[in-house]
Amino acid sequence: MADKIIVKELDSVAVRFSGDSGDGMQLAGNMFSTVSATVGNDICTFPDYPADIRAPQGSLTGVSGFQVHIGSNKVYTPGDKCDVLVAMNAAALKTQYKYAKSTACIIIDTDAFKKADLEKAEFKTEDPIAEMGIKNDVIACPITTMVKDCLADSGMDPKAMLKCRNMFALGLVCWLFNRDLNIIAQMLQTKFAKKPGVADANIKVIQAGYDYGANTHASVAHTYKIESKSKTPGRYMDIMGNKATAYGLIAAAEKAGLKLYLGSYPITPATDVLHELSKHKSLGVTTVQCEDEIAGCASAVGASFAGALAVTSTSGPGICLKSEAMNLAVIMELPLVVLDVQRGGPATGLPTKSEQTDLLQCLFGRNGESPMPVIAATSPTDCFDAAYNACKIALEHMTPVVLMTDAFIANGSGAFKLPNLADFPAINPPYVPEDMKGTWTPYMRNAEGSRYWAVPGREGFQHILGGLEKDNKTGAISTNPENHDLMTRLRQEKIDKIQVPDVEVLGDKDDAELLIVGFGGTYGHLHSAMDEMRAAGKKVALAHFKYINPLPKNTAEVLKKYPKVVVAEQNMGQFAGFLRMKIDGFNPYQFNEVKGQPFVVAELVEAFNKL
């Protein structure tokens, strides 16, 4: 035990909570991130959960982790490795220790390191710390015993008591970081407003964990202080990417004055969008859990024809099945938002893990010439903006749009400044003007090249759309070669003309020796890599793409400006290949990794330094 506790000031720290899937690690992590955010820290979280719903208790495959990164300035990632590791059992220590820094403080529940626990975690000796060669500070605390003692008079049954173990660990972590328990108490009272007994028990256990730390100094040399510096004033909430996507869709529907329709089929890691939207019937949101992915998309096409803001949500395997109905929306020129929350592939691949391997599928995975805008959200909170803009483009340009996110940003969270819908751009679909009655045909176009939208119910605008090629003028089925060539070009031009913001160059935009290029969910890691390299004196810039199709107008100019360019992505080079196809003579370095895990900033820096 240290004699004197030093308070160590840090710019950022990462805490990893780990335990059995049922140990409530995510809840503990979320509460810690929220209490940190409340005092003005920036936050970024990421859950790392197993594919099995409930692997055997205490087993190596049943461990789930939840990492929280808090910082005095902006934090872009959940952190490569953690400064504090909470391991609620032996299996958690065994599998999660690799995510701990050599200087990290480790908190374990010694009650879950008994002989049986060690056997399940496949330890060979009775001293797991020595066996793993751990030299870190270890707070070895009989958490289970202490929780039971603490709740002895509560009248709770033992099983209910054990559910509070996570709160003891949270209390201990709160002590380490000097967090105000009153804020947590308020959060719990709100969360369990209908079960005051549960709230009280949890609060009591958190306090016990905190007191344990304070009384014993918990075998550590220091506690931490994370200042709050750069946060824009305003009201914030913690939001996960999938929820932010759902909110973006809701916001766009409200702005456009349309009913929001979601046709979907459950699939990891996209299902939370279906869950979230199905909750909000009081906003008039209609969700249909269809018989399959195909019907999810097909019913959305029907809903779009009938006048709704139509969305279908899925992950990569679902895109395979939806592609024919997506293509139908291309040729019928109907608005549709297709959400792809990417996971590891091919086939069912790695359902709970994250990759960027669907890019070419989303861009090109359909028969015929089938141009479709593609937008890739860059962070959990950016999912909101990306979803809003996907809806705006779909509705105003009468086209399906693919909105790409990934398991990492979908399940990760960040501090979200509450948006004011009034500040967002209007959404104006090209409804067919009433004075065109009598002269209008379905494939007449406005100045942007978009078809007009004639929603059923309007007298005098009855028309037929379909999957067969139509005559440019009459809208009748046509196999005329000139007409097909023309229609193909018109559909392409319509997409090419969509205005998207220029790609921004961050860092040393004037004199960078290396330009890092990425897209979508890797923004945080690439940004952090750039920051580290610049802090070490290198001249580095980052151009991170959110709009993939059409590409921003300044793309070629940016990519050709710097002596060295590296395209870093979580696939085998799909974006690099796409850029080569679009930008004559572009020949970048590539950094490709397909591990199903987020990039590790240190590895990026090492690789980029070698270029």
Partner 1 sequence: MAFDIKDFKKGQPRWCPGCGDHFFLASLQKAMAEIGVAPWDTAVISGIGCSSRLPHYMATYGMNTIHGRAAAIATGAKVANPNLTVWQVSGDGDGLAIGGNHFIHANRRNINLNMILLNNRIYGLTKGQYSPTSPRGFVSKSSPYGTVEDPFRPAELCFGARGHFFARAVATDAAGTVDILKAAYNHKGAAVCEILQNCVIFNDGTHSAVYDKAGRAKNAIYLQHGKPMIFGENNEFGLMQEGFGIKVVKLGENGITEKDILVHDAKCEDNTLQLKLALMEGPDFPVALGVIRDVDAPTYDDAVSAQIEEVKAAKKYHNFAELLETNEIWEVK
Distance of alpha carbon 498 from alpha carbon 390, whole angstroms: 12
User: Binding of partner 1 at residue 298 (CB under 8 A)?
Assistant: yes
- Should residue 238 be labelled a site residue for partner 1 when binding is judged by CB under 8 A? yes
Residue pair 269/349 in contact (Cβ under 8 Å)? The answer is: no
Give the shortest CB-258-to-partner 1 separation in angstroms: 10
Q: Which is nearer to partner 1, 228 or 554 (CB)?
A: 228
Q: Fill in the DSSP letter of residue 449.
A: S
Interface residue with partner 1 among 231, 538, 564, 580 (CB under 8 A) is 231
Region binding partner 1 by CB under 8 A among candidate stretches 33-41, 63-71, 428-436, 562-570: 33-41
Stretch that binds partner 1, among 98-106, 172-180, 225-233, 587-595 (CB under 8 A): 225-233
Query: Residue 477, interface with partner 1 (CB under 8 A)?
Result: yes
If one asks whether residue 572 binds partner 1 (CB under 8 A), the answer comes out as: no
Region from 115-123, 288-296, 337-345, 479-487 binding partner 1, contact rule CB under 8 A: 288-296
What are 564's strand-pairing partners? Answer: 514
- Residue 533: exposure state from Cβ atoms within 10 A (0-12, 13-18, ≥19): buried
CA distance 294 to 318: 8
Under rule CB under 8 A, residue 63 binds partner 1: no
- For the chain, the first-to-last Cα distance in angstroms comes to 46
Pick from 456, 499, 502, 572: which binds partner 1 (CB under 8 A)? 456
In the bound state with partner 1, the residue whose beta carbon lies nearer, of 139 and 303, is 303
Residue 333 has phi, psi (to 5 degrees) of 55, 60
Which two structure tokens, joined as six digits, stand for 261?
């329709």
Minimal distance in Å, beta carbon 328 to partner 1? 5
Residue 163 sits at φ, ψ, to 5 deg, of -65, -10
Strand, helix or coil at 312?
A: strand
Q: Does 438 bind partner 1 (CB under 8 A)?
A: no
**Region class of 273: left (phi > 0), else alpha (psi between -120 and 50), else beta:** alpha
Q: Using CB under 8 A, pick the residue from 112, 167, 172, 295 that binds partner 1.
A: 295
Region from 17-25, 279-287, 572-580, 594-602 binding partner 1, contact rule CB under 8 A: 279-287
Q: Rounded distance, CA 440 to CA 581, Å?
A: 38
The Cα–Cα gap between 227 and 267 comes to: 40
> Exactly one of 102, 282, 439, 479 binds partner 1 (CB under 8 A); which one?
282
429 contact partners, CB below 8 Å, separation of at least 6 = 256, 258, 335, 395, 396, 398, 453
Amino acid at 555: T
Q: How far is the CB of 173 from partner 1 (least distance, A)?
A: 19
Q: Which residue has the tokens 């591990």?
A: 595
Give yes or no for residue 34 binding partner 1 (CB under 8 A). yes
Residue 68 makes contact with partner 1 by CB under 8 A: no
The reply to whether 234 sits near partner 1 by the rule CB under 8 A is yes
Binding part of the chain for partner 1, among 201-209, 445-453, 458-466, 486-494 by CB under 8 A, reads 458-466
128, 241, 263, 269: which one contacts partner 1 (CB under 8 A)?
263
Structure tokens at 551: 């590409």
| Residue of 579, 546, 553, 554 whose CA lies nearest to 565 | 579
- Judge whether 427 and 395 are in contact, CB under 8 Å: yes
Any contact of residue 277 with partner 1 (CB under 8 A)?
no
48 is a site residue for partner 1 (CB under 8 A): no
Print the binding letters for residues 119-158 with partner 1: x by CB under 8 A, - otherwise. Answer: ----------------------------------------
Does 301 help bind partner 1 (rule: CB under 8 A)? yes
- Asked if 61 contacts 441 with a C-beta cutoff of 8 angstroms, the reply is no
Q: Please pick, from the candidates 466, 473, 496, 611, the single residue that binds partner 1 as defined by CB under 8 A.
A: 466
581 touches partner 1 by CB under 8 A: no
Nearest Cα to 213, choosing from 141, 153, 155, 157? 141
Nearer to partner 1, 70 or 533 (CB): 70
**Amino acid in the structure at residue 448:** E
> Residue 436 and residue 541: Cα distance in Å, rounded?
51
Answer for the pair 23, 88: CB distance below 8 angstroms, yes or no.
yes
- Our finding on whether 247 is near partner 1 (CB under 8 A) is yes
Q: Is 229 in the site for partner 1 (CB under 8 A)?
A: no
299 near partner 1 (CB under 8 A): yes
Residue 341 pairs with which residues in a beta bridge?
A: 405
Strands 12-20 and 63-71, by their bridges, are antiparallel
Measured from the CB atom, the residue of 306 and 602 that comes closer to partner 1 is 306
421 binds partner 1 (CB under 8 A): yes
CB of 389 to partner 1, least distance (A): 16
Q: Any contact of residue 283 with partner 1 (CB under 8 A)? A: yes
Binding partner 1 (rule: CB under 8 A), the pick from 37, 92, 173, 566 is 37
With CB under 8 A as the rule, give the number of residues binding partner 1: 70
Q: Are 58 and 117 in contact (CB under 8 A)?
A: yes
Please state the three-class secondary structure of 198-221 as a single string.
HHHHHHHHHHHHHHHHHHHHHHCC
Tokens of 464: 């037929």
187 lines the binding site for partner 1 (CB under 8 A): yes
Separation between Cα atoms, residue 440 and residue 438, nearest integer Å: 6
**261 belongs to the binding site for partner 1 (CB under 8 A):** yes
Q: State which of positions 307-326 bind partner 1 (CB under 8 A).
A: 307-308, 310, 324-325
Distance (Å, rounded) from C-alpha 549 to C-alpha 559? Answer: 16
Tell me which of 108, 203, 332, 559 binds partner 1, using CB under 8 A: 332
Name the minimum Å distance from CB 277 to partner 1. Answer: 11
Note whether 479 binds partner 1 by CB under 8 A: no
Shortest separation between residue 280's beta carbon and partner 1, angstroms = 7
Q: What residue ranges in 157-205 does DSSP mark as E strands?
A: none
Q: Which residues bind partner 1 (CB under 8 A)?
A: 34, 37-38, 40, 187, 190, 228, 231-239, 247, 250-251, 254, 259, 261, 263, 280-284, 286, 288, 290-292, 294-295, 298-308, 310, 324-325, 328, 332, 418-421, 456-468, 476-477
